[in-house]
Structure 1
Amino acid sequence: MKKLVLFVEKNLEEEAEIYAELSTRVCAGWSDLIWRTIIRANSVAERLEEEEIIF
């Protein structure tokens, strides 16, 4: 029984580590996407200013 408990505890720890790694990667991915969107928006805004297009 003790071996089973240790096996389950180890698997839960490994699963928790996997989920932590995945959530870190997802957050980093969203952060990267947000920054790329901001950079693109700034680029479009600069082009609009250069062309003097007013909405």
Structure 2
Amino acid sequence: MQTITKLVFLSERAVHDHIAVLKQTTGAKNQFSLGAEAAKRGWLDEEEEKRR
């Protein structure tokens, strides 16, 4: 989670809260299934990932 906080310039608590809301919104049980759901919904930017 610390990597995420550095990338988005938010506190660890804020990131945790955002993840919790996204899990509740999507019905995801864990962060892995949240990632799968994000990909399914087209929320991920593949070009951004390639630049890293």
Normalised by the size of structure 1, how large is the TM-score? 0.34
Greater gyration radius: 1
* Higher-RCO chain (CA-CA 8 Å, sequence separation at least 6): 2
